[in-house]
Structure 1
């Protein structure tokens, strides 16, 4: 459930309507329909402002202020949004004939109503910020208690690592490197959401993304996500070069299998994955340096994808013994096709007699 999704706004509207109805009950403000109407309109407006959907340039400028100045300006702005929202909702209620109250009563916010709206908005915003901090799906799973007891799952993991981040930090400093990482992570979030990936963790300059196995292999979604991310970064080449003097490049490794998923922590809870798959994916990402390839995928994942996305081809690299593992892993490199497909060639798969024999031998 992302900020721009219809589901997100339906949930926000429903929660706001419930708090609006509760206000009518607590303060004896008449028919429940009025409380629901006011609550829905004011709640949606307040969250739209806080999420940057309302006055996006203004909220972006606010976030650049020092912490204390930002907090004061944001609270005053939220108060104004609520007051104006109350007045606008009063006009709408009057026009619809939902109450016999005078126009002056409807457009003049009452102090207790403003304080209640501020308190509810603060509660909703606080919950949403916790959700942002740990991830929407993790937040939902924690609320539902889905992983109170460890459970076995089949998942696909994508490890992304920013190339040259250490060198950039040595040259430009840690603060500049942090700005680069922040910008990269914000940029790649959209294609990850679009391909229904779940960002599980950030570790230094690395991002860990996962899918339930069937969801990840459906329409080769996990592979399509990798190249959508690379295209998103490449298409904004001028901005990256102008701001940071480089175009970010990412190494990527895809692997999957059975993991144990569980809720861990006492003071800080999180959903964690346990099993060889996590270690193997990390080692596979490290293999990108050795093989000098940007995108690697294990046979365990590739064998479950019948057809690669159009324009993507796989090359069998052979078996590799990854550090920390007793067995070997069959590894393939993925790349964008740079030539026209030969007649009879299946998209993303080599013709028999070229690379396919090696592929079948290794699999």
Structure 2
């Protein structure tokens, strides 16, 4: 069963490893630097000929502690009311939290180190203000956090394995993959848009997709793109069928909207209802574009998933799935077969689809 704790622990070990290595690299740079006091990483009064191991251990210990603290800060900013702040205010508050926590960690680690290693650090109140090395380290951490954030966002955008493969140019040429696609669309969108007006309607879509983003990582879903009031999600086939992720995700999204029913009713006078169609199979992925690059998926799987979603209203269902994909899921699902085979728009062969009932 997916959980926020599992996501946090995954991010935690990545953060600890990254910052331990990053500050270890900083220690090596400082130790073998060009200036006369390069060996004195934190304390300029240290002997220049002292071995690198104490410096390396101090900085890597700091890195591990910073990794733990930064992961906590990141988790809090992503799961509290702060995530609804503007991007500028969000970044400013997070930077302040990083700065304060860094100074605290520096002080604690150096104080412990002074009692363990034969190194004497000057840790009087405000010791860091006039310490040039500390400011260099803070500047280094600032750019290191930008790199870490970029890697994290890129990994979430493309998926971990997809991002690594993109870096090595795997998708410069068409590559076949086995994937599941879901098209989730807002029901009665036209009437809602007319009643609310384009401004408030856009706010409604923004709120809905905010809830969707909150749920997607818990079920290993990758958000491929947004098209108006429709979200397109995808899974590598193994992840999508594992624990019925591609099914439980949509039900969890509906539940999330229901939990916030009072908010939507008060602000918009309506509870948004989504319908979805899901299908899986083999298709082609390739890197496209030059000015704006992205990964594009081509194949019948996407068209079929979109057409299945288009059958929801006709069959009075909020969630439809192809028989082909259903065969790969466990038999505990409560489904109802659509009696007649459906001829989907743009396809010659009829497709057997099922309605996935609420538990």
**Range class of TM-score, shorter chain:** 0.7 to 0.9
| Deviation larger for 106-115 or 116-125 | 106-115
Task: Map Cα deviations across residues 55-83 of structure 1 (whole Å, 9 max, x no partner).
Answer: 9758447x248x4x665555445433333
Match of 1:315 in 2: 337
The residue matched to 1:259 in structure 2 has which SS? strand
Write the mapping of 1:133-282 to structure 2, written as runs, cut at 5 A. 138-282=162-306
SS in 2 for 1:101: coil
CA distance in 2, matches of 1:115, 1:304: 51
| Matches of 1:149 and 1:290, distance apart in 2 | 39
Structure 2 CA distance for aligned equivalents of residues 190 and 43 of structure 1: 23
Contact 1:52 1:60 in 2 (8 A): no
**Larger deviation, residues 195-204 vs 163-172:** 163-172
Match of 1:349 in 2: none
1:27 matched residue in structure 2: 30
SS of the equivalent of 2:28 reads: helix
Name the CA shift for 1:90/1:246 in 2 (closer, same or farther; >3 Å): farther
Q: Which moved more, 1:149-158 or 1:9-18?
A: 149-158
Pick from 91, 101, 113: which aligns with 2:120?
101
Q: Any idea what SS the aligned residue of 1:262 has?
A: strand
Q: What is the CA–CA distance in structure 2 between the aligned matches of 1:134 and 1:305, rounded to whole Å?
A: 24
3-state SS in 2 of match to 1:116: helix
List per-residue Cα deviations over 1:189-215 (Å, max 9, x = no partner): 344333322222222211122223343
CA distance in structure 2 between the partners assigned to 1:329 and 1:25 by the alignment: 62
Q: CA deviation at 1:314?
A: 2.0
1:260 Cα offset (Å): 1.3
Shift of 1:140: 3.9
Deviation at 1:137, TM superposition (A): 5.5
Q: TM-score under structure 2 normalisation?
A: 0.79
Change in Cα spacing, 1:216 to 1:72, as seen in structure 2 (3 Å) is closer
- The whole-number CA distance in structure 1 between the counterparts of 2:59 and 2:162 is 32
Q: Shift in Å at residue 236 of structure 1?
A: 3.0
Q: Report if the CA contact (8 A) 2:181-2:234 is conserved.
A: yes
Say if 1:178 and 1:140 are closer, same or farther in 2 by CA, change over 3 A. farther
1:294 deviates by 1.1
Alignment correspondent of 1:6: 9
Aligned 8 A contact 2:8 2:75 in 1: no
Q: Give the deviation of 1:306 after TM superposition.
A: 4.5
2:20 to 13, 17, 20: 17
Give the Cα–Cα distance (whole angstroms) in 2 for the partners of residues 179 and 6 of structure 1.
33
Name the residue aligned to 1:53.
Answer: 76
Aligned position for 1:346: none
Match of 1:111 among 113, 135, 146: 135
Q: Following superposition of structure 1 onto structure 2, how do residues 34-45 of structure 1 map, counting pairs within 5 Å?
A: 34-45=58-69
Q: Tell me, in whole angstroms, the C-alpha distance in 2 between the residues paired with 1:208 and 1:44.
A: 34
Alpha-carbon distance between aligned partners in 1 of 2:114 and 2:126, rounded to the nearest angstrom: 9
* Aligned-partner Cα distance in 2 for 1:265–1:89: 48
Distance in structure 2 (CA, Å) of the matches to 1:10 and 1:267: 35
Q: Would the alpha carbon gap of residues 42 and 226 (structure 1) be closer, same or farther in structure 2, given more than 3 Å must change?
A: closer
Aligned length: 330
Q: How far apart, in 2, do the equivalents of 1:212 and 1:60 lie? A: 28
TM-score in terms of structure 1 length = 0.78
Of the structure 1 ranges 99-108 and 28-37, higher mean CA displacement relative to structure 2 is found in: 99-108
Task: Measure the CA separation in 2 of the matches of 1:199 and 1:58.
Answer: 22
1:217 Cα deviation from its structure 2 partner: 2.9
With over 3 angstroms needed to count, the CA separation of the structure-2 counterparts of 1:262 and 1:118, relative to structure 1, is same
CA displacement at 1:129 relative to structure 2: 4.1
